[in-house]
Amino acid sequence: MRPLLELKGVSKFFGGLAALVDVSFTVNEGEVVGLIGPNGAGKTTLFNVINGFYKPSKGEVYFDGKRISGLRPHRICRLGVARTFQVVKPLQRLTVIDNVMASAFLRSPSRQEALERAEKILHFVGLYEDRETVSKNLPLGKRKKLEIARALATEPKLLLLDESFAGLNPKEQAEMIETIKKINREGVTILIIEHHMRVIMSISNRVVVLNYGEKIAEGSPQEVASSPEVIKAYLGETAVA
């Protein structure tokens, strides 16, 4: 098992607020790692640090053995890290296919190649029928798929998924689980933020738990689910007592 992503003592402060405190963990090549924690725990902030939107206040991030903290997001993406956004950010007035092409150009400079890659990816995530739809007219479920399609078009080694399941109905959730498993089978390593425990249990090899910016647990889904620390964080003191 080769480590692909390594966080070493990462902290992030917003003024007096400590959004991340000394967080360290590793994601190995080929894994699906779940990142969970209550609202405001610092999960999205961690993604913003990994993908370069924020510089860590302390600590370092390594990807593929190379230090990436401090690089700009487009450089980090070029190295092989792609992400989706919790609050989806489609290129509103562009069609679905144009959205995906805009990212596909990163690895295929010619228009024809970019188009072919984009079409392939739309088939893969099940958005091909909607390729000519202007993305602001898509329902939420499809926008979440578009986020993933766009990220995949950059041919990432590591995919960061921020709550891809939020707002999906059970049928869409089942499809999404299949899609993510398929992406992982293609060799893409995945770090996924998720609130639905059922989803996390069914797709992750390992789970990292954040609470108030600190890592409070790490292990297999079963280990984490039975950890008193985690139960306390999720349910509050009273539930444990």
Partner 1 sequence: MRGLVPIAGIILLALLPLVGLSTYMMHILILVIMWSVIGMAWNLLGGYCGQVSFGHAAFFGTGAYTAGILYLKLGVSAWWGFPLSIVVVGVMALIIGFICLRLRGPFFALATLAMGEVLRVTAENLRGFTNGTLGILIQKRTWVEKTWYYYIILAIAVFTFLLIRRLVNSRLGYYFLAIREDQDAAESLGINTTLYKTVALLISAILTGFAGVFYMNYMGYIDPEIVYALHDISIITIMVVMVGGVATFWGPAVGALIMVLLAELIRSLPRIGTAHQSLFGILLILIIIFLPNGIVGDFPKLKTILRRRA
**Residue 182 found at the interface with partner 1 (CB under 8 A):** no
Contact 22, 214 (CB under 8 A): yes
Give the Cβ contact number of residue 81 at 10 Å. Answer: 29
**Residue 192 found at the interface with partner 1 (CB under 8 A):** no
| Member of 28, 86, 108, 133 binding Mg ion (CB under 5 A) | 86
**Residue 11 found at the interface with ligand ATP (CB under 6 A):** no
| Member of 34, 42, 59, 90 binding ligand ATP (CB under 6 A) | 42
Q: Which is nearer to ligand ATP, 42 or 80 (CB)?
A: 42
Give the start-end residues of each E strand in the chain. 3-14, 17-28, 32-36, 58-63, 66-67, 81-83, 158-162, 189-193, 206-211, 214-219
Amino acid at 98: D
**Stretch binding Mg ion (CB under 5 A), from 41-49, 77-85, 128-136, 182-190:** 41-49
The first and second tokens of residue 33, run together, are: 């790692």
Rg of the chain over Cα atoms, rounded to whole angstroms, equals 18
Write down the least CB distance from residue 43 to Mg ion, Å. Answer: 5
Q: Which residues of 180-207 are buried (b: 16+ CB within 10 A; e: fewer)?
A: beebbeeebbbbbbbeeeebbbebbebb
Q: Which is nearer to ligand ATP, 11 or 103 (CB)?
A: 11
Please give the size of the binding site for partner 1, defined by CB under 8 A.
Answer: 30
**Residue 164 found at the interface with Mg ion (CB under 5 A):** no
| Member of 30, 40, 126, 167 binding ligand ATP (CB under 6 A) | 40
Among all chains, which residue has been given the structure tokens 């790490």? 218
Q: Which is nearer to ligand ATP, 34 or 42 (CB)?
A: 42
Of the CA atoms within 13 Å of residue 3, those in its CB half-sphere come to 12
Helix, strand, coil shares, percent, the chain, to 5:
40, 25, 35
Binding string to partner 1 for residues 78 to 117, with x set by CB under 8 A, is what?
A: x---xx-x---xxxxxx---x--xxx-xx--x-x--x---
Beta-bridge partners for 5: 27, 63
Residues that bind partner 1 (CB under 8 A): 51-53, 72-74, 77-78, 82-83, 85, 89-94, 98, 101-103, 105-106, 109, 111, 114, 150-151, 153-154
Binding footprint of ligand ATP on the chain (CB under 6 A) = 14, 17, 19, 37, 39-45, 86
* Positions in the binding site for Mg ion (CB under 5 A): 43-44, 86
